[in-house]
Each structure stands twice: as structure tokens, then as C-alpha cells.
């Protein structure tokens, strides 16, 4: 049976490079259960599927910054190859090439992750412009539901209480889980 890729596994791998939300080739390979060279070989063998804007090759400076800011990417420090970063469009195209059941499940998780992030961004943007109390409350509830959906399955409870508070300037979300004794 194919192990389903969880939202949190994908969410942690999304970086911003040159203003684009991306996932590095090594992380894509890890999610798909293949080697990084297999991902890059698929791209090389299908250049027509990856026009400009689908993949970003990091510069030396960008690579150094990523390694410095994300400790889970420390292994890139000594790699002689500059990493490639897949934009959302690039990931969709990659999904048309990789056909295994794990690739399909991973693609679905990636698509859902990008969609939830976009939906949350839209909701926060609408909230900052809303002037009516009813509209603000409705958007705050919607934003809270999206965040709860994002965090939902991975929340751990203790004997007392677990509380998560996120503040997005215009949207404040507090989620408390109380466990009955």
C-alpha cells in the first residue's frame, strides 16, 4: 500500500525564491521516494514541459542562503551542483511525467498544500479590506477553518491543554485543545 503524503510534510518544504513559492529538487525527490538525479533526469529528458518560470536554478548566493537558513538542507552545502527549485507550475508538469502510485499521492498533497496557502492568502487579503462586521467575522471564521485544516491532524494533546496562536496582522487565530481527565 502507498503511504499517503501529509500536508505537513509538504508545507515544511516550501521556500520562497525570487518571489516564488518553490520546493527544491532534493525535497521533491524525497517526497516522491526517488533520487534527486531521477527528478533532474526527467526534467532534462522533457525540456518542452518546463519553460521559463517552471523551474528556477538557484545561484551560488541563493544556495548559500538556503543552506544557512534551513538546517535540514545542510547536505546541499557540499554538493557541487546548484539545486533546482520547482514552482507550482513545474510541480504540475513533473506530475505528468512521474506515474507511480506514490508520485500520484505526492502530487495530490502538493496541489492541496499550494491551494490551501493561496486560499489563506486570499482570505487574509480580503479581511484587511473588509469594513462590515459581518464580513470580517465571516472571513475570520473562514481563515480559522483553513488554519485548523492545515494544523488539524498533527495537533498533539497533553493531559491539560495545547494552545496554538497565530497572528497574521489582520487575522488572529487561537486553537485550544482541552483533554478531559
Q: What is the pLDDT of residues 114-163, one digit of tens each?
A: 788 788 888 888 887 888 888 888 888 888 777 777 665 554 544 445 45
Q: Does residue 151 sit within a domain?
A: no
Q: Does residue 57 sit within a domain?
A: yes
Q: Provide, rounded to the nearest whole percent, the portion of the chain with pLDDT above 90.
A: 18
Q: Does residue 18 sit within a domain?
A: yes
Q: Does residue 82 sit within a domain?
A: yes
DSSP 9-23: HHHTTEEEETTEEEE
> What are the residue ranges in the chain where pLDDT is below 50?
1-2, 155, 157-160, 162, 170-171
Q: Does residue 85 sit within a domain?
A: yes
How many structural domains compose the chain?
1
Interatomic CA distance for residues 43 and 167, integer angstroms: 39
Amino acid at each position: 500500500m502507498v503511504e499517503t503524503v501529509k500536508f505537513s510534510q509538504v508545507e515544511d518544504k516550501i521556500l520562497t525564491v525570487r518571489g516564488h513559492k518553490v520546493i527544491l529538487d532534493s525535497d521533491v525527490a524525497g517526497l516522491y521516494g526517488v533520487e534527486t538525479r531521477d527528478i533532474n533526469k526527467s526534467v532534462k529528458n522533457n525540456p518542452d514541459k518546463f519553460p521559463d518560470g517552471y523551474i528556477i536554478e538557484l545561484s551560488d548566493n541563493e544556495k548559500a542562503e538556503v543552506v544557512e537558513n534551513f538546517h535540514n538542507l545542510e547536505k546541499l552545502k557540499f554538493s557541487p551542483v546548484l539545486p533546482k527549485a520547482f514552482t507550482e507550475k513545474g510541480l504540475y508538469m513533473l506530475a505528468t511525467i512521474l506515474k507511480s502510485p506514490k508520485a500520484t499521492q505526492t502530487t495530490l498533497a502538493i496541489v492541496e498544500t499550494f491551494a490551501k496557502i493561496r486560499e489563506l492568502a486570499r482570505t487574509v487579503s480580503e479581511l484587511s479590506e473588509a469594513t462590515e462586521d459581518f464580513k470580517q467575522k465571516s472571513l475570520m471564521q473562514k481563515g480559522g477553518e483553513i488554519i485548523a485544516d492545515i494544523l488539524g491532524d498533527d495537533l498533539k494533546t497533553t493531559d491539560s491543554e495545547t494552545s496554538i496562536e497565530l497572528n497574521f496582522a489582520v487575522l488572529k487565530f487561537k486553537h485550544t485543545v482541552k483533554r478531559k481527565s
